[in-house]
Chain A
Amino acid sequence: MWRKLGILSRFELRQTWDDKMVLFYTLIAPMIFFVLTDLSSNGHPFGVHNLASQLIGYWVYIVLVGILNGFQFALIGMRESNFLKMFTVIAGDKRLIFFSNLVVQVLFIEIEVFLFDLVVLILNSASLPLLPMMAGGLLLNVVLIPIIAGFTNFLLILPLRVNLVSLMTTGYIFVGMFLISPGLGLAPWLNDVLTALNPCSYMIQFYGVGLDILGRVTLAHVGLLAGVAAFYLLVGYYPVRHMKLQSNTSRY
């Protein structure tokens, strides 16, 4: 089982590495955005003065887009190309294909976040004190990425074609990111509700508690995050078990 997972992961890693275009959306685009907004707002984009808060916003984007583009779309693409079907028969278990992809995406997203942090450190000397926070963020991501995969696994069982899923996820990213913009000034109870529904809100809270930058970490807060994580890890496993192996775009 573990050996097969290693074999599939190595193969997936090579495939993902060769498809470097995905880096444009998950890494290059936020880097360009960071540079432009930093220059045009004197370092305070969207009125956010705290560099740590800005940084978390970018991490949220990189993780969510990485999971959607690199992971969920990759699996849907594998289903449509018959890779999932053929390699489930060869490997004997479709969960191996799922988990090997997840392992590769955790690694890729970690590298992307690391490179992004590096660029921030180079471009903004005021970010040097954030070095421990950056290291903490990388550690938290190991737990956070599988939880966010759980949030978005429902895409795997939707009987939709790739183009429609692509449109849906673009909207999903837009709404998700919009709901965490500080300008909205949402009431705390609404933020708690969104923590359970919006992966971006969940990530903000998770980083906030994990890195102790919210300044008001309570047991209830930790309980909410743990409960939501447990729920999505359990619910997210259902699509893994029940995802169709056959293509949605053709009978075969």
Chain B
Amino acid sequence: MKIQDFSYQLPDDRVLFDHLTAEFEPGKVNILLGVNGVGKTTLLDFIAGVSERADLPFDGFPEMARIAYQMQGIPFTGSAKVVDAIRMMVNLDRPTAKFDASRLPENLKDIANSHFRDLSGGQRRLVILEGICQLQRDLYLFDEPESGLDVKLAVQMMSRIKTLAAKGKTVIMTTHQFRNLPEDNVHLLVLAGKCIAFTGTPAELMAETNTQSLEEAYLKTDS
């Protein structure tokens, strides 16, 4: 899955991407790093096909029906029940699939019949994440999935995302958190200066920047 020589301007004429080229590795967790406003979500929108993507710069990405996309924000009204929301997502993916509360992971079983309005922000995010992970797609996009989660929930979330890559699925996620990032099966892409400034493993990034931590390495790359 490649993006080649992609340029894009926002409606207010600011250039967001200037001849951006990026390659995402299949069967791995591809982590897109970058400061706020650099265009991570916009790039995910193009990859998902939410913004019209042309074949030429976007090469090898599956069609929309083969992509799962978790976005920032909670797209349900308070009246939706956890189990109903996930069942609906599963049935849109596989109309004949049976889904009930017993198929939920342990950390969601207690709230299976709760309404979204009765959940905390972190729990809501975890529910959406579970719904996305239940879909059987080729490419999974996660936009800051750990945002608003406590340390324990963030670890659970990252563990759930890693299982997708372990099954051979391709994952592209954006994040601002370095603490929970997996160490293996990871491909980093640093978005800075309107293009991809680095691609490689966390170890390669640290070696290239001559730093001891990923956070330090990222700050050096971005500057």
Nearest CB on A from B68, distance (A):
7
Nearest CB on B from A100, distance (A):
11
- Given A87-B92, A88-B50, A91-B92: A14 and B75 interface contact (C-beta under 8 Å): no
Q: Determine the main DSSP class of A at the interface with B.
A: helix
CA distance A251 to B88 in the complex (A): 27
By beta carbon, the residue of chain B nearest A74 is B77
Docked-complex contact B75 and A87, CB < 8 angstroms: yes
Docked-complex contact A82 and B73, CB < 8 angstroms: yes
Nearest CB on B from A187, distance (A):
45
Contact partner of A81 (CB less than 8 A), chosen from B41, B48, B73, is B73
Among residues 102 to 125 in chain B, which have CB atoms less than 8 Å away from a CB atom of chain A?
A: none
Chain B CB within 10 A, most for which of A14, A86, A246? A86
Docked-complex contact A8 and B92, CB < 8 angstroms: yes
Docked-complex contact A11 and B84, CB < 8 angstroms: yes
Among residues 193 to 219 in chain B, which have CB atoms less than 8 Å away from a CB atom of chain A?
A: none
Docked-complex contact A90 and B77, CB < 8 angstroms: no
Provide the A1-28 mask, 1 if CB < 8 A to any CB of B, else 0: 0011001100100110011000000000
Docked-complex contact A18 and B41, CB < 8 angstroms: no
Is A83 an interface residue, CB under 8 A from the partner? yes
- Given A7-B91, A246-B51: A82 and B72 interface contact (C-beta under 8 Å): yes
- Given A81-B74, A82-B72, A86-B69: A14 and B84 interface contact (C-beta under 8 Å): yes
Provide the B75-99 mask, 1 if CB < 8 A to any CB of A, else 0: 1110110001000110111010000
CA distance A7 to B49 in the complex (A): 23
Q: Which residues of A contact B (CB under 8 A)?
A: 3-4, 7-8, 11, 14-15, 18-19, 78, 81-83, 85-92, 245-246, 251-252
Q: Which residues of B contact A (CB under 8 A)?
A: 10, 41-42, 45, 48-51, 64-65, 67-77, 79-80, 84, 88-89, 91-93, 95, 135, 143
Given contacts A4-B92, A81-B74, A83-B75, 6 further A-B contacts (CB under 8 A): A19-B79, A78-B75, A81-B76, A85-B69, A252-B41, A252-B72
